[in-house]
Copies of this chain bind each other. A is one copy, B any other.
Amino acid sequence: MPDGNPKKPSRIQTRNRSVILDAALEVFSRHGYRGATLDQIATEAGLSKPNILYYFEGKEDIHVTLLSKLMETWLDPLVALQSDGDPAEEILGYVQRKLDMARDLPRESRLFAGEILQGAPRMGPHLETDLRPLFDEKCALIQGWVDTGRLPPLDPQHLIFSIWSATQHYADFDAQVKVLLGQGSDPHKRASAHLRSMFGNMLRI
């Protein structure tokens, strides 16, 4: 049994757990938790169903593991929002990082979106524990910039919401975006320019 005990995992274990999680990310992000089946995940992973249940306790275990690992990655860009340089450029850099992330990790974005959309049934605690403190910290940072006149008056909480929604939109609503944009010139570049303009305007004193 690979789980529970403190022994270090074998090479096979490490590889297979990672293969399974990647397959599960693919399937869960496309069909949602309920819509995904263990058979689909098994096929995608190139393993048999009982075999994946050898590495994970069950469907929910896979999903939760995925969400936990994802949370780190997901918060990275926000963690990187520091009080180093020019406030406006700091925030615009954050916007850019989030947008790049939506392009590079669309499956992760959709997995997250699906979970929240359904009321975060398997992630509620994580939100309180991991996201909330970081969110509060960065809101305070931005509020500080406002208070010291380095940014115009604005609402840090809703600013962050706008950044999240505007950037993740391109991953989460990809199906719609594709239909509406047709095949135009480098959508990512145009989105980036638009967002830089929009948020840039609002951050200018």
Q: Mark interface residues in A164-205 (1 if CB within 8 Å of B CB, else 0).
A: 111011101111110111000000001101110111011000
* Interface bits A146-176 vs B (CB < 8 Å: 1, else 0): 0000000011011101101110111011111
Complex partner residue of A191 from B132, B158, B166, B197, CB under 8 angstroms:
B158
Which residue of chain B lies nearest to A139 when distances are taken between CB atoms in the complex?
B180
Stoichiometry, as copies per complex, reads 2
Contact residues on A (Cβ < 8 Å of other chain), bracket? 35 or more
Q: Is A98's CB within 8 Å of the partner chain B?
A: no
28 pairs from A and B in contact (CB 8 Å cutoff):
A32-B117, A32-B118, A34-B34, A35-B118, A113-B113, A113-B173, A116-B172, A117-B117, A119-B174, A124-B175, A127-B176, A127-B180, A128-B179, A131-B179, A135-B180, A155-B190, A157-B190, A159-B194, A159-B198, A161-B170, A162-B194, A162-B195, A162-B198, A164-B169, A165-B169, A165-B173, A166-B166, A198-B202
